[in-house]
Chains A and B, each alone.
Chain A
Amino acid sequence: MSVAISLSKIGKSFSLSNNPSRNYFQLLFNLKKNKNSEKFIALNDITFNIFKGEALGIVGSNGSGKSTLLKIICGALEQSEGVYQVDGKIASLLELGSVFNPEFTGTENVRLAAAIYGLKIQTNDPTYNKIIDFSGLDPYYLSMPVKTYSSGMMLRLAFSIIINIKADIIIVDEALAVGDAYFNQKCIDFFKDFKKQGTLVLVSHSVGTIQSMCSRVVWIEGGSIQKIGSPKEVIEQYTNYLFSVKERIKKQRGVKNNRPNNIVENIDIWKSEDNSVELVDVSLIDKVEKIKTSLVSSKMKVSLKVELLIKSKLNEIIVGFYLKDKNGLNIFGDNTFVKYLREPISAFAGDRLICNFEFIFPRMPLGDYIISVACATGSQLDHEIKLWAHNALSISNIENHFSVGLVGLDSLDCTIQKVLKK
């Protein structure tokens, strides 16, 4: 396979002194960069190749350096170290709509945007028609100033320009969700088709999208490459990293955790005033592999482990959880009330409660879900909440199975009976 983009030891650092004049004299007189000055290292020693005809996904948490890397590849930003080579024309969706001038009409903006990419188009060109067709904009709007467009229309037009300028490499930065569902589907279809002859670089926080579109994934964290490999492998590690609290605290803050265990620090916990319960750990365990996981799929046997530390004596303890989708809609949940109805659990200060909810993960749409955990005392109807961790755990459903609506169907059979015309 031939290489479309080759990156070798790319590094980028920004000066923290915020002193543009120093930068000015360095550039003007070709001075060496002052090594001692305080710098923020955005990228460090990035080396990998992107092959022609491949769809490469880049994942990483916010501020990990993904966008900086893309800007360097596009040539908008200059790297501090290393070299890179690009074979082919790059179009990038980093800048959706940023070249548009609000006072000018859609047509004028299309021509200007295309010219910025070195393409001269007239209104009777096939390329122009393709752009307009793809955007699905009413011809009436094309003669109106872009400032009258809705943001969705503007993005659709920008998107259509980028993908129609005959680029060899398309870079998409978190922009697949630009329009309505119909347009989104059109974009995804386009990319699937484009992958056959072109190179696609995709940055997204939605691991589902990466999983379904890409053949290889690079995970960048803290400005350096953590892992390159197959989507499943990399995404699993990445999501584990993202949601495993222990690692996050160690790597990013370098702070020692003096709490009893790896309690979640950045989650939103509500506690009753007596502060009688503390959340120690929440984790989802794959029952088959017997490992912690944050990736689930339909019909997977999982166990949700909730560990609590009791600070003062409690009677009739109930522990429960909810699983919510990204819109905050409760999908399902369970609690220990019924199971321990006859002999309610009591605990004293210093006791630990380890609760396990074992269940088969239902068939659900792809995407990210959040698990909330709560602890209360009393009964199902009349209880007092002691602790409520709203986003204790985040998991992703990555099974690539078609599903309509909120719940997947465990279909038993599906047939068509044909009754012939007499």
Chain B
Amino acid sequence: MKRIFISFTVAAIVLISYYTGVFFGSKTVYIYNETVIKSSEPIVFRPYSNLTNIPNASMAKIIVPAVDDSGRGIATNLTVQVVPGSGKALVNIDKLLFWVDTQNSIRTARSVAERMLNMNISDYDIVFAIEANATVIEGPSAGAAMTVATVAALGNKSINRSVMITGTIKPDGTIGLVGEILAKANAAKDIGAKTFLVPVSQSVVTTYELRKHCEKIGWTEICTTETVPRKIYVANETGINIVEVANIGEALKYLINY
């Protein structure tokens, strides 16, 4: 009887100690890892020089939030002047280069503005100039701002400085999607805007996170990775009032001082 008792005791100690070892050795590890991957569209505004003063010109100035090479939001000053001429769209290329996509935006902006105001501008030249800390102007995302500034210049109206806009311009006057909305919204806020107009659906930005989860099944540890979308409300994230605008007509209600 005594021997049986001792045998059971030893067996119990062996089992308990073994499972103690297993327990400490097989501790399940849960790892949560995040990497934010931003969706982006290349849109970089780079510099230029001051606009030459042209007499008899109607002028409009608008500040366009943009993103520099390092992803920081910066302010660019866009000036549009309407001067007597022969219907040309001119670009001040002193010290900077406009890429073809920006040139297309200028052409579209001019055409949309002309139709919106229902006026013949064949006797005027429109001079576009951008002032920014860069050497190359690329990306179409200032298209909507260019159109607004052109309408303001042609209509001899001033632009509400507390409102800024980002978006491409399409030939029918609709405003198209752009990248880096968060950085641009931050830039708009930093340079004094109270309201930031964005293309439809872009008041919410989706970012993607990598999630890693490890679990133990038997002797094997299995780690699973997943890419999970996360919605960010730009207004909440940046603290600026965000308004979605579908077309230039809607944008003008906020931007033009009538």
Q: Do A and B come from one complex?
A: no
A: which residues have CB within 8 A of B? none
Residues of B within 8 A of A (CB): none
